[in-house]
Amino acid sequence: MTAQTGVSHLSLFLIAALPFLGAVFPALLIRAGRNAAASAAGLTTFLALMGLLIHIPSVMRGEVVTARFDWIPGLGLNANFMLDGLGFLFALLILGIGLLIVLYARFYLSREDPMGQFYTYLLLFQGAMVGIVLSDNILLLLIFWELTSLSSFLLIGYWRHLPEGRQGARMALAVTGSGGLAMIAGMLILGNIVGSYDLSVILQNKELIQASPYYLPALILILLGCFTKSAQFPFHFWLPHAMAAPTPVSAYLHSATMVKAGLFLMARMWPVLAGTDAWFYIVATTGLITMLLGAVIALFKDDLKALLAFSTVSHLGLVTMLLGFGTKIAAVAAIFHIINHATFKAALFMTAGIVDHETGTRDVKRLGGLRHLMPITFIIGTIAALSMAGLPPLNGFLSKEMMLEETVHTTWLNSHYLVPGLALLAALFSAAYSFRFVSHVFLGPERDDYPAHPHDPPVGLWLAPAFLVVLVVLIGLYSAAIVGPLVAVVSSAVIGGEKLPYYSLKLWHGFTPALYMSAVATLGGLFLLSLHKRGDQIWNVLPRPEAKVIFEAVIDALTRLSRWITDELHNGVISRYAIILIAFTVGIGYYAFATGTIGLETRVPLPAQIIPIIGWICLVAATLAIMWFHRNRLLSLVLIGVVGLIVSMAFNYLSAPDLALTQISVEVVTMILLLLSLNFLPTETPWDSSAARRWRDAAISVVAGVGSGALIYALMMRDFAFPTISEFHLANSYKGGGGTNVVNVILVDFRGFDTFGEIIVLGIAALIIFALTEAVLSTNVRGYLLNRKPHWPQSGDSHPLMMVVATRVMMPIALMVGAYIFFRGHNQPGGGFIAGLIVAIAYLMQYMASGYTWAIERQRFYYHGTIGWGVLIAAATGLGAWFNERPFLTSDFGYIHWPPLEEFEWATAILFDTGVFLAVLGAVMLALDSLSRFAWQPGMAQEFPMDINPLRDNPPEDENEKEQA
């Protein structure tokens, strides 16, 4: 196969993107009228269809049109699209039938239905389906796959005022979503086997995949996704319950989209997964059971849409069975039947919708005699139903003959009769329910008890199914000319480009076993129809499992299990979380140590000097003191500050001044904020654990600490057998990022995306603190906080003059130091993060010295906006790299000479660092500002009534509540 280049690259992206882009317009244009919304949806689908059709010459020549965009190449996630025969057929069905559905829905939906919303959901679903069939990357395909589950949930539950609509949507999402999760695992295994996630690469490695020991797990997981999406046994039950959706949705889901996604993926993966015994017995057997089961159930359904839903299940099983046979001619038959099924099934669902729309009921037992009252609908529905039954000269007859012929040549567990016998039985029931659709709805005498007076609808409702019925007839009569070339191209794509065996798409093949079987099925179907009344009575009294009841029971059991696990593990006791995490980590670490290998020590310890030893002793002493005096909150906080200071000194001693500066700055800011927080808490923590629990916790802590220390020691005493990431950063810091400060270059360039995420999280945390304090300020809790009595005698001078003067003098100096630290950060210790903390400390000192009221009156900028501007500047810097065709947040640098200044370096990373600076400054100050509003000040408490302390008046009773308190 060859690849077409040039404008085709852009067109594939447009075809995939148009439905998503166009989904906005129907919702916006609904105020202009229903016609405007429908026209917007129709125009969007039409443009995407035209974009697809321009590739007909290339596709029919057997070429593969490709479009590639390296999205996240490090993860193998590339936005690659390809259009071959298989993708073209399914995209044609999705967009072509989608255009007819848009027309049909315009006249089907009532004025009470929000039509703009409907078309928005429809286009989102359409875009997800187009994305599936055009994707050339399995990770991208998985994204679209899950989008179909979500968008179909919206469509199925469109009539959310109906309980059955909501239940059907939840059921479809649960089943298909669960299968999608399994398929994600299977696809990841497949990509790992091949070493690539591109479909075009995977499809060229059949031998490698089938020789892998992971072939069977990958096959089962992928088929779970396919079977759930295409309603194969035992997952078939969700599809009939999706019939609570409006008929346009049902017609679209059953003919060209949702359920066809599983068939598409089986056909797409056929070249590499088919041809093994596992594929044959799993896929063919599942398809055969589904085909027979769906046909039997359909015969006894009285709801027209339910009858057609189970008939869809049966025909999906038929195609699955053909793909499961694993032969080339069976693949051809499967593709041909996919085309035929799409035409007659969409027409049948639209016919059922017309009958319901005009008569007010879908109950077959309340219908009959409509052939004279609704002649146009009668002709459309009868032709489509007879095609579904497999009668000549309609297109359903041709693909049914090919299916029966293939079953004759298929052996299952050394039996030559089992597969053709069961397939014949399924075809017999298929003919019976098709004849019932015609006979019980349109034939018989006219009735006088229709819920509404039946008559043919306006042309807008019957035009779309009439067009499809014309295709049903034309394909049946002139299949070789109309769809023959397309079937050949698509089948060639399915079997991997190999030469197709001889086959003929014509009505007469002579007296063959398939012809005899077809005649038996037709006559048997008529016979079953004549016995339907008696058979229906027997069917209703037969004991049989109800899929809906089983599903609800399973969901209820899983819900109870989940609630029990949640209640036991996620009960709000943080000590329990810590114990589970640490114990699990220790266990995994011990297992790795016991089963792994560790080499001999290759390094010699450096001699210990007296200053580091003293620092280590102080660190250990402070840590032990925290454990001993942890109930005294203020003393614990002071000791934590000591630990942080010693760690900062250790960073500086070990030649990490950036980390030392950051640690000291963070310690100062954290201490101030924690002091504010402790202002609202008791001075001491109550005993919250028994002695046994404390000894248990101590034992786990000792084991975890000793293990961590031993791991660190083992790492430091051995050389690495492979290059470390630090060597890369040291070698490329200046060449790649333009800076000699490796730490800063890592933060703003090499791992700028991490930093970008961190400042967003920091900003969100500050906003949450603000939101919580706002909520508390609107309640009586504020009165309680302001009326509380200080634990210690207060100084008569709340704002000492010496401190006020000192902080005023220090303010410009601190700002100058912050600016200096900021601008030197790319080449010397410093940067936006440290500078933001330094400037924040300068502002904090003003609050501490002069008070909250004095400082807030002189505030010249809003902290919310500072956070927002910081994130926006950082994001804009990252987006700028895209305009130079570089990955997000890739920095650039160069040298500038502005007379009379000397030549100096300029890096775009300074803009990103500016965003970091603003976000850090805004987040720290917003948190401080929020907590400061609770601070007790003399004279402020009088106007607020004393509130009740709920913990004081309602002390916790059990152990868990005490820990939570």
Please provide residue 504's backbone torsions phi and psi, each rounded to the nearest 5 degrees. -140, 125
Distance CA 627, CA 622 (A): 9
Is pLDDT larger for residue 134 or for residue 890? 134
Tokens, residue 704? 């975890």
| Length of the chain, in residues | 965
Could you tell me whether strands 893-896 and 64-67 are parallel, antiparallel, or unpaired per DSSP bridges? unpaired
**Nearest partner of 426 among 510, 342, 533, 319, judged by Cα:** 319
> Does residue 947 have a pLDDT over 60?
no
Locate tokens 């139903």: which residue?
385
> Does residue 314 have a pLDDT over 90?
yes
- 318 band by pLDDT with thresholds 50, 70 and 90: very high
To which H or E segment does residue 780 belong? none
> Does residue 959 have a pLDDT over 50?
no
- 962 band by pLDDT with thresholds 50, 70 and 90: very low
> Does residue 954 have a pLDDT over 50?
no
- Mean pLDDT, the chain, integer: 84
Please provide residue 830's backbone torsions phi and psi, each rounded to the nearest 5 degrees. 150, -155
Whether omega before 900 lies within 30 degrees of 0, making that bond cis, reads yes
The pLDDT of residue 792 is 62
- 289 band by pLDDT with thresholds 50, 70 and 90: very high
Predicted TM-score (pTM) of the model is 0.72
Please provide residue 560's backbone torsions phi and psi, each rounded to the nearest 5 degrees. -65, -40
Distance CA 52, CA 934 (A): 63
Tokens, residue 384? 């489509």
Tokens, residue 604? 């010699």
Percent of the chain surpassing pLDDT 90: 30
pLDDT in tens, 428-477: 999 999 999 999 999 888 888 888 888 888 898 899 999 999 999 999 99
Please provide residue 597's backbone torsions phi and psi, each rounded to the nearest 5 degrees. -125, 145
pLDDT in tens, 705-746: 888 888 888 888 888 777 778 888 888 888 777 888 888 888
Q: Which residues contact 776 (CB under 8 A, 6 or more apart)?
A: 782, 785, 934
The pLDDT of residue 612 is 87
CB 868 within 8 A of CB 862: no
The pLDDT of residue 782 is 65
Could you tell me whether strands 3-4 and 64-67 are parallel, antiparallel, or unpaired per DSSP bridges? parallel
CB 77 within 8 A of CB 197: yes
Distance CA 750, CA 735 (A): 12
The pLDDT of residue 796 is 61
pLDDT in tens, 872-913: 998 888 888 777 777 777 777 777 767 776 666 677 888 888
CB 481 within 8 A of CB 487: no
The pLDDT of residue 632 is 84
pLDDT in tens, 743-797: 888 888 888 888 888 999 989 999 998 888 888 777 776 666 666 666 666 666 6
The pLDDT of residue 7 is 40
Comparing 83-97, 810-824, 877-891, which segment has the lowest mean pLDDT?
877-891
